[in-house]
Amino acid sequence: MQAEQSSVYTPEHEAFRDTLRRFLVEELTPHIGAWEQAGIIDRSFWRRAGALGLMCPGIPEEYGGPGGDFVHQLIVSEELGRCAAGASAGVALESGLPSFHILNFGTAEQRRRWLPAVCAGEVILTVAMTEPHCGSDLQAIRTAAVRDGDDYVINGSKIYISGGINADLALVAVKTDPAAGARGVSVLLVESDRPGYVRGRNLHKMGMRAGDTAELFFQNLRVPATSLLGPEGGGFAVLMKELPKERLTIAARALGASELALALTLDFVRERKAFGQRIIDFQNSRFVLAQLHTEIACGRAFYDDCVARVLRGELDNSRSAMAKLWLTELEGRVMDACVQLHGGAGYMDEFPISKLYTAARIHRIYGGTSEIMKYTIARAL
């Protein structure tokens, strides 16, 4: 079953998509079993992606990127969703996303220092916001950065950090003024080799088992004040500015994975027989598949409209929250129905649908939960 593609993508976007698909088949799929066992992806994966311009496709050439647009970054997410091995990989290639924070808020020195290395896959980025006691309520973070001469001294901890083990540079949300609420939040660029930067456990997850997700601890960790990304107290703005586009990457991934799940399930039910007929020939199977196909096609139309808005600079918070809410909730329904149509096979690791099912569950939680999406949408009504 062919995914329905719209005219929003240029031939250049489609050429990029082809390169990316080949890369995932050649450089992710053959290794995913070993990386799942290890609970971590080998760093060579990032360097290979960097060499082909796949790490940060939207970063301009003067900073080492291939000079594409954000749609290229969205294609990365969509294709990771549409690749069975992507379900185990976690954010992997999407770790290039925070490069946009550095591009938009970094000083000239910060951009020069970090962006070429991130684009080359030499430096792996992560964003560390969530703490053991708070995730949705970002302004409640407690990790403190106290000014001491020309330095900040950081103490605190983070949890559930994607790439927390592999990352070389973390964009860490800290409190620089505990009394100032959201205006007391700042972002610091923190190298993982600084004394006092301690990696905790690589957490064991329900799905996406090849991608590392870790605890981080900061113990009297010193960084120069020049590590501030954006102004002191401006951390919320730094983190929120890119949020609509970032949320769309999660919607993209959910859509790609939904399309893949439906295609895999169609193959399965055409082959498998029960009571002397193919599973696809039962009326119930046909109705379920018709419903999913229709809902995915509607989701695709809304998503492609969002992509067009990205290109016009018109994607707002509310619309991207709608895309994330709808497409990730739809993905949940798609995965559940597709596992059901596989019968017992759907519960087995050797059938990709089982990993797509567990990977999908996180999409309604990270990047803002479905409930937080509803707040965002309701605010604009």
Ligand X SMILES: Cc1cc2nc3c(=O)[nH]c(=O)nc-3n(C[C@H](O)[C@H](O)[C@H](O)COP(=O)(O)OP(=O)(O)OC[C@H]3O[C@@H](n4cnc5c(N)ncnc54)[C@H](O)[C@@H]3O)c2cc1C
For the annotated catalytic residues, the residue numbers are: 246
Query: Minimum Å distance from CB 211 to ligand X?
Result: 8
Q: Which residue is associated with the tokens 């439906």?
A: 262
Residue nearest to ligand X (CB): 135
CA dist 66 → 254, 267, 349, 351 (Å): 26, 37, 37, 36
Least distance from C-beta 301 to ligand X, angstroms? 27
Q: Which of 73/126 has CB closer to ligand X?
A: 126
Q: How far is the CB of 103 from ligand X (least distance, A)?
A: 19
**Chain residues that interact with ligand X, rule: CB under 6 A:** 126-130, 134-136, 160-162, 205, 213, 362, 365-366, 369, 371-372
CB 363 within 8 A of CB 90: no
For the CB of residue 250, give the shortest distance to ligand X in the complex, in Å: 10
For the bound state, the minimum distance from the C-beta of residue 360 to ligand X, rounded and expressed in Å, comes to 12
**Closest separation in Å from C-beta 61 to ligand X:** 28
Q: Which is nearer to ligand X, 24 or 127 (CB)?
A: 127
Q: Which is nearer to ligand X, 92 or 292 (CB)?
A: 92
- The whole-angstrom separation of Cα 152 and Cα 147 is 4
Closest to ligand X by CB, 279 or 331: 331
**What are the distances in angstroms from CA 201 to CA 38, 40, 204?**
13, 12, 9
CB of 379 to ligand X, least distance (A): 12
Q: How far apart are CA 311 and CA 241, in angstroms?
A: 16
Q: Does residue 130 sit in helix, strand or coil?
A: coil
Instruction: Using DSSP, state whether 127 is helix, strand or coil.
Output: strand
- Residue keyed to tokens 């993508």: 9
CB 75 within 8 A of CB 12: no
Q: What is the DSSP string of 90-105?
A: TTGGGGGTTHHHHHHH
Instruction: Please give the DSSP secondary-structure letter assigned to residue 54.
Output: -
CB closer to ligand X, 128 vs 257: 128
Rg (CA), the chain: 21
Number of H helices, E strands in the chain: 13, 10
- Cα–Cα distances in Å, from 14 out to 22, 70, 165, 259? 12, 14, 33, 17
| Complex with ligand X: residue 310 or 362, whichever CB lies closer | 362
In this complex, which beta carbon is closest to ligand X, that of residue 9 or of residue 160? Answer: 160
**For the chain, first and last CA: distance in Å?**
37
Which residue in this structure is represented by tokens 């592999």?
Answer: 166
